[in-house]
Amino acid sequence: MKQLTFHELQNYLALKYKGRSTSSSLFMKLVEEIGEVAEVLNQLEGRKSNTEDASLEKELVDVIHYAVAIASINQIDLTKAIINKDKEAAVKYNQSPNLEEFLVVQNNER
């Protein structure tokens, strides 16, 4: 199976939602999906009885889908944003390596 990049997913979702959805409508779907993740976790951890065929994998995919869709229709380059945010967190929390450094090492090992 082909590897999927954020860039490809963002291009696909930008095309899919272009002119069809607003950030706020996608956000409402995102919140709904986060609630479904909570339901599945409650079931998996025994705090709630399993009433339906719940899948953590599917619900997490839905959360990612709507979060990336919001970024896409707002022209946010998630790859760049994630790397920059991680650099800030690495400095703030004194962590090493940061994501960008990790990716350089990974690419050099290939």
Write out pLDDT tens, residues 37-94: 999 999 999 888 876 777 999 999 999 999 999 999 999 999 999 999 999 999 999 9
- Spatial neighbors of 18 by CB under 8 A, at least 6 apart, are 73
What is the arithmetic mean of pLDDT over 7-18?
Answer: 96
Q: What are phi and psi of 53, to 5 degrees?
A: -80, 85
For the chain, which residues make up each domain, given as ranges?
Answer: 1-76, 77-110
Dist CA 55 CA 64 (whole Å): 14
pTM over 0.85: yes
- How much is the CA Rg of the chain, to the nearest whole Å? 17
CATH fold label, 1-76: Helix Hairpins (1.10.287)
Would you state the pLDDT for residue 63? 98
Integer CA distances (angstroms), 83 to 6, 64, 91, in order: 12, 17, 12
